[in-house]
Amino acid sequence: MITGTIARISGPVITARNMTGSRMYDVVSVGRAALPGEIIRLEGDEAVIQVYEDTTGLMIHEPVENTGVPLSVELGPGLLASIYDGVQRPLPALYAKSGNYISRGIMVPGLDRERRWAFTPVKKPGDRVQTGDVLGTVQEFHLVHSIMVPPGVSGEIKTITSGEFTVTDVVCTLADGTEIPMLQRWPVRKGRPFVKRLDPEVPLLTGQRVFDTMFPLVKGGTAMIPGGFGTGKTVSEQTLAKWADTQVVVYIGCGERGNEMTDVLTEFPELTDPRTGYPLIERTIMIANTSNMPVAAREASIYTGITIAEYYRDMGIDVALLADSTSRWGEALREVSGRLEEMPGEEGYPAYLATRLAAFYERAGRVICAGSEEKTGSVTIIGAVSPPGGDFSEPITQNTLRIAGTFWALDANLAYRRHYPSVNWIRSYSLYLEDVEDWFSEKVARDWYQFRGRAMYILQKEIELQEIVQLVGPDALPDKEKVILEIAKIIREDFLQQSAYSDDDSFCPLEKQYWMLKIIIWYYDAIRAAMRRNVPLRQLLSIPARSEIARMKEQRDLERLKKLSDTVWEQTENLEVQTCSTAA
């Protein structure tokens, strides 16, 4: 084992001497307190190390031991419903060892060593297997967890046993003597292998109208949610964690508030997945490096999360990874880089920021998984971005923009007036619209795309008209433009706004989204038709159905909602009769 000594300590970064033979990203144990760290630069016999714990108390000349392995996570049954720190130490285990505060130098494995899992083989002795092949399964809550041949391993099965095992027990041996337990390790900084990337075509549904209908995301895609403080990034991430239609969700609280992790921890066990009826916590894995936890572990937390996500993907599962906030990760990178006295790029970020960001988002994707069976799985990444001063021109936002397929721009002015989600409908976009068009027209309705397009048009038109209003006042507009303002208002208030805290509306099924929008657009068409028959606009805007439109969100009965579309037509047509009869 390579053992060196500490030569310099500067916050979370230390330099060790006599480290010849070390490799980049090797995990080291620093000092007598055995603090975990990772080599991030090698220069001659010196290694620069980022330490995952507070370095207070370390001294020059204390020993540094290289473990010879890169920073890795443990993969296997027992990940679901766990909450980990940035380097995969289970927080409940840390609590058991050190109480309410996280003290240093505690090593706890990521997966429980005592717990036994019932393993059911699907292969038999004599079968030839390769990387990614499913050897057998374990029931992890409601998920059938595939135990797969680890990357780089293949051969003929000699023994494979069913029964109750711990994660480290050998469940299968190969003819060449290789022993395979359920637990695998994988270095976090390297993507797990797969066969082939697929084009996205299936939307990732979230139950949020502004996302699903207006700016859809796809399974295997990437989305960014930038916004100043208080605009709703965290609520969006948590809402997505609740309602995304994936089997597994990885939630990374990266440099954010402790109480927000508590939220997830206390709320998710009580909420049920609207699609399966099971508690949400049972499909969720949480990684918490809160803002007051060591900064180097913040950098690692993102990789820990994505590696776990890839592992489930490899089983042929759809996984959503939520990272709140990627800016804190970037800042951790900057802080460490600053301590290394590297040449700073824009706003002090290291020059490799863009590459690192891209490499992270590249790990999203829908793929044909490794293995001889046909499996497709996906990892979707949804990253919150926290631009300083809410100014999107800063490096993290700009670099992420180049990569992300969906851009959900949050807007402080909308948040100030409590328009939530505060997604700015003019600034936001989805590059996946065309990819999902077929899916929507097949699964929802042929005219989905058309209604969406018309709604967007009305919203865009509203902006233009508002500019005119600002100059000449609202009365100067002709009726046919006033209608647009009114309908745009309905779209904003009665469609786009969606409270995450509403019992009736926090999750809106896709079909309901479609009907809500359709009714609004039909109302628009009905008004225009009636206006051609000279029905006064005032009357058209005050038909009783309008207040029903305003309460569509609360309507849980889809059939009744659908009837509203007829009501809208009837009431506008009735008006014509009335006006005719009064005229007669």
Ligand X SMILES: Nc1ncnc2c1ncn2[C@@H]1O[C@H](COP(=O)(O)OP(=O)(O)O)[C@@H](O)[C@H]1O
446-465 residues in contact with ligand X (CB under 6 A) are: none
- Binding of ligand X by 154 (CB under 6 A): no
DSSP 277: -
Nearer to another protein, 21 or 345 (CB): 345
Task: Provide the 3-class DSSP secondary structure of residue 314.
Answer: coil
How wide is the angle at C-alpha 77 spanned by C-alphas 282 and 184, nearest 5°?
140
Contact with ligand X (CB under 6 A) among 70, 216, 220, 232: 232
CB-CB contact of 88 with 73 (8 Å): yes
Nearer to ligand X, 255 or 365 (CB): 255
- Single out the residue of 519, 505, 518 nearest to residue 452, CA to CA: 518
Nearer to another protein, 423 or 444 (CB): 423
How wide is the angle at C-alpha 293 spanned by C-alphas 288 and 299, nearest 5°?
70
Q: What is the dihedral of CA 498, 502, 506, 512, to 10 degrees?
A: -70
Judged by CB under 6 A, how many residues of this single chain contact ligand X? Answer: 13
Please report, as ranges, the residues that interact with Mg ion according to CB under 5 A: 233-234
Q: Which amino acid makes up residue 215? A: F
CB-CB contact of 72 with 82 (8 Å): no
Shortest Cβ 99–another protein spacing (Å): 8
Contact with ligand X (CB under 6 A) among 233, 313, 366, 512: 233
- Binding of ligand X by 226 (CB under 6 A): no
Binding segment toward ligand X, per CB under 6 A, in 19-27, 224-232, 286-294, 554-562: 224-232
- Binding of ligand X by 235 (CB under 6 A): yes
Can you name the residues that pair with 423 across neighbouring β-strands?
A: 410
Q: Between 393 and 432, how does the x/- string for binding to ligand X read (CB under 6 A)?
A: ---------------------------xx-----------
Residue 227 interacting partner from Mg ion, ligand X, another protein, none (CB closer than 5 to 8 Å by kind): ligand X
- Binding of ligand X by 553 (CB under 6 A): no
49-78 residues in contact with ligand X (CB under 6 A) are: none
- Binding of ligand X by 501 (CB under 6 A): yes
- Single out the residue of 352, 359, 405, 402 nearest to residue 382, CA to CA: 405
- Binding of ligand X by 206 (CB under 6 A): no
Can you name the residues that pair with 147 across neighbouring β-strands?
A: 136
Residue nearest to Mg ion according to CB distances in the complex = 234
Tokens of 449: 């795309």
Can you name the residues that pair with 148 across neighbouring β-strands?
A: 134
b/e 111-126 (16+ beta carbons within 10 angstroms → b):
bbeeeebebebebeee
- Single out the residue of 190, 379, 405 nearest to residue 303, CA to CA: 190
Strands in 199-247 per DSSP E: 203-204, 217-218, 222-226
Contact with ligand X (CB under 6 A) among 271, 500, 531, 537: 500
Can you name the residues that pair with 39 across neighbouring β-strands?
A: 49
Nearer to ligand X, 14 or 384 (CB): 384
Task: Provide the 3-class DSSP secondary structure of residue 517.
Answer: helix
Nearer to ligand X, 485 or 500 (CB): 500
Residue 417 interacting partner from another protein, ligand X, Mg ion, none (CB closer than 5 to 8 Å by kind): another protein
Residue 319 interacting partner from ligand X, another protein, Mg ion, none (CB closer than 5 to 8 Å by kind): none
- Binding of ligand X by 323 (CB under 6 A): no
Q: Which residues bind ligand X (CB under 6 A)?
A: 227, 229-235, 420-421, 499-501
